[in-house]
Structure 1
Amino acid sequence: MTRASNRRSLFILVYVFAAALALAACSGGDSPAEKSAAASPAAEQRETAVASSSDPEAGSDAAALIGQARAAMADVGRYAFTLHLVQKLSGGAAADSVFEVTNAGKAERSPLKLDQTIDSVQDGERSSLRAILVPDAYYVYDPSFEEWGKLSSEQAADIARTLSDYQIDPAAALASAASLGTGLSSAREGGHDVVRYEGKGPEALAFLKHILEGTLDLGSMDEAVQRSIALKSLSVSFKLDAVTHLPLAYRVDSVMTIEYEPGAPSELSQIFEGTYAKHGATEAIAVPKAALEAPELDPPIDDPEATEGDLGTLDGVDGLDGLDGLEGLDSY
């Protein structure tokens, strides 16, 4: 298996079993029309013109909005969230591939709990799981087998460390956006504040690498591969409630090249987006009785001799062949 193929296998593992991403907003969020506009900001009717990204005062105003959103979200202990990732990889040492993963769920921050449904598509092959993370335990439900399984406390801790700030700490995710500095611009659109960035400077790559820690498991790559990443374009937007300052949606579009093998750059285009809703108003996360009574997954999911199709191995989940285990999960 090529290094690129290994990256893709680990990438699927990070997003399916760590449950990092999501698509459809939970109830209580924006209207369908508002969600469509969030996905395509140009479709919104602007109430004010977007300030020039070269205007230091515009960057200051945008940074202030980000600061207000961070402060507002820091006090929210429960919320519904969605995340959605689409990656297209082509050329170079990597085989052409399209990967999409969507997740819809809710989070509690103290103590950390997540309840989410994960749907992924890898080159046309689909898989679906429900996953619940609570302190010292991680439960997965495979609808194809209609049964629950439980990971060990050590594996649950590994997964907790892989989760994105965009899932479990939106205030920290917003803090990374502040690093875009004077390149930020802001506008009032449709009753919302929208903060944007367009560019490909050093600040853009630094911001993107924070996201790539999860979407490419960047930290476990060879340093030469990490250094090979060249950003071609980056577009970022955050939609905020104009009254409460709470974050409602974000979208990060990027195109870059990466050399899995020296001198053979592959092009990677990525859409990373999500929403927040029901701030402070979601129901408490509860583990179903069937999950509590589920056996611990055994043999370990990285055991190559595990019985194929047995939920205890997690090898029978559609579209997940070739996964090598939980080692290296140090990003999302």
Structure 2
Amino acid sequence: MSRTSKRQSLVVVFIVFAVALALTACRGAGPAEPVAAPSAVAEPTETGGAPPSGRAVAGDAAALIEQARAAMSDIGRYAFTLHLVQKLSGGAAADSVFEVNNAGKVERSPLKLDQTIASVQDGEKSSLRAILVPDAYYVYDPSFEEWGKLSSEQAADIARTLSDYQTDPAAALASAASLGAGLSSDSEAGRDVVRYEGKGPEALAFLKHILEGTLDLNSLDEAVRRSIKLKSLSASFTLDAATHLPLAYRVESEMTIEYEPGSPSELSQVFEGTYAKHGATEAIAVPEAALAAPELDPPIDDPAATEGDLGTLDELNGPEGSDSY
């Protein structure tokens, strides 16, 4: 694997297992189980285009997004799933495929997270359990059958990497509202679905907001960030029609990125999640064994960490399941 490709995979693993806190929603109880976001979208144009007959246009769609944004601000805890797939090929990067599935629960104030993560990097599988609480981050590796702990500084660094889709859902929906005239909406079996498809400037700005979490965009050189060219983007946001509760989202994108000038790589990404038990999850508690765990060394973002060392978190494996939510 090239240096650029390896760096990307390490960044993505770091971000995803650290975060995957869900986009969530409003007051009142949600559905018993997460609901998958529909993948159908409006007919594409350069800037989103007019929706097919029978769908509400941007004004109604923006109003639905605003209702969800306002409603979700009251939710303090929830359960979630998150699925991310990234495929990188061509240019200066070696071909690589990364996929991760996360499931867990979140408390927003103060921020706490308890999740399990199953990832596949170019066919190599790994899993772990991770708990983030104020001033600490704990991971469990079943191959050692013991917990490890990060320093408060490292825990703070992890917390800062979390995207708005995980820690500030209102801001995430505000970003979706910025898609403007390209938005459309309709109703399906008690759910409102807001959609977008296009590749205009508003789509690229929206995508970069997501890439801050899925690609650690802000850590890349400015020239690399500026090199991103969007080929296509489709998005859908599924809301409960009665409570305005966000239930799910799905964003698919195709783009090029130049890790080296003049050598564009193709990057495709599917980023989606579902939400449940809004305001009704059990409190997050750190196991006694984790509280007594030794501090991990070297840091998780040290690419020179010895393979198999407990300090190399992208090498850790975790349990297939976790506490009930």
Deviation at 1:60, TM superposition (A): 0.8
Instruction: Determine if contact 1:53/1:197 at 8 Å carries over to the other structure.
Output: no
Does 1:20 pair with 2:24?
A: no
Aligned to 1:256: 255
Distance 2:121 2:92 in 1: 18
Question: Superposition pairs for residues 194-273 of structure 1, below 5 Å?
Answer: 194-273=193-272
Aligned to 1:67: 66
Distance 1:216 1:101 in 2: 13
Distance 2:137 2:67 in 1: 34
Question: Superposition pairs for residues 106-185 of structure 1, below 5 Å?
Answer: 106-185=105-184
Change in Cα spacing, 1:51 to 1:302, as seen in structure 2 (3 Å) is closer
Relative contact order, higher structure (CA 8 A, sep 6+) = 2
| Range moving further from structure 2, 69-78 or 141-150 | 141-150
Corresponding residue SS for 1:310: coil
Does 1:187 pair with 2:186?
A: yes
Distance 2:77 2:232 in 1: 34
Deviation at 1:169, TM superposition (A): 2.1
Question: Superposition pairs for residues 45-124 of structure 1, below 5 Å?
Answer: 52=51, 58-124=57-123
Of 22, 33, 38, the residue aligned with 1:29 is 33
Deviation at 1:226, TM superposition (A): 1.2
Change in Cα spacing, 1:232 to 1:305, as seen in structure 2 (3 Å) is closer
Aligned residues: 302
Distance 2:97 2:73 in 1: 35
Distance 1:97 1:67 in 2: 38
Change in Cα spacing, 1:242 to 1:39, as seen in structure 2 (3 Å) is closer
Distance 1:84 1:256 in 2: 19
Change in Cα spacing, 1:170 to 1:160, as seen in structure 2 (3 Å) is same
User: What CA deviation, in whole Å up to 9, does each residue of 1:247-269 have, x standing for no partner?
Assistant: 00000000011111122111111
- Structure 1 stretches lacking a partner, 5+ long: 43-49, 319-332
Aligned to 1:5: 6
Change in Cα spacing, 1:6 to 1:314, as seen in structure 2 (3 Å) is closer
Corresponding residue SS for 1:295: coil
Distance 1:8 1:228 in 2: 19
Corresponding residue SS for 1:208: helix
The AA in structure 2 aligned to 1:102 is N
Instruction: Determine if contact 1:21/1:85 at 8 Å carries over to the other structure.
Output: no
Aligned to 1:328: none
Aligned Cα RMSD in Å?
2.6
Instruction: Determine if contact 1:249/1:275 at 8 Å carries over to the other structure.
Output: yes
Question: Superposition pairs for residues 293-312 of structure 1, below 5 Å?
Answer: 293-301=292-300, 308-312=307-311
Deviation at 1:8, TM superposition (A): 2.8
User: What CA deviation, in whole Å up to 9, does each residue of 1:233-290 have, x standing for no partner?
Assistant: 0000000000000100000000011111122111111000001110100011111111
Deviation at 1:306, TM superposition (A): 5.8
Deviation at 1:215, TM superposition (A): 1.6
Aligned to 1:47: none
Deviation at 1:303, TM superposition (A): 5.9
Instruction: Determine if contact 2:10/2:314 at 8 Å carries over to the other structure.
Output: no
User: What CA deviation, in whole Å up to 9, does each residue of 1:210-236 have, x standing for no partner?
Assistant: 011122211121222111111110000
Change in Cα spacing, 1:284 to 1:99, as seen in structure 2 (3 Å) is same
Corresponding residue SS for 2:57: helix
Change in Cα spacing, 1:100 to 1:305, as seen in structure 2 (3 Å) is closer
Instruction: Determine if contact 2:50/2:182 at 8 Å carries over to the other structure.
Output: no
Change in Cα spacing, 1:200 to 1:89, as seen in structure 2 (3 Å) is same
The AA in structure 1 aligned to 2:125 is R
The AA in structure 2 aligned to 1:60 is G
Change in Cα spacing, 1:186 to 1:133, as seen in structure 2 (3 Å) is same
Instruction: Determine if contact 2:86/2:97 at 8 Å carries over to the other structure.
Output: yes
Corresponding residue SS for 1:100: strand
Q: Percent identity?
A: 78
Aligned to 2:322: none
Aligned to 1:330: none
Deviation at 1:312, TM superposition (A): 4.0
Change in Cα spacing, 1:305 to 1:168, as seen in structure 2 (3 Å) is closer
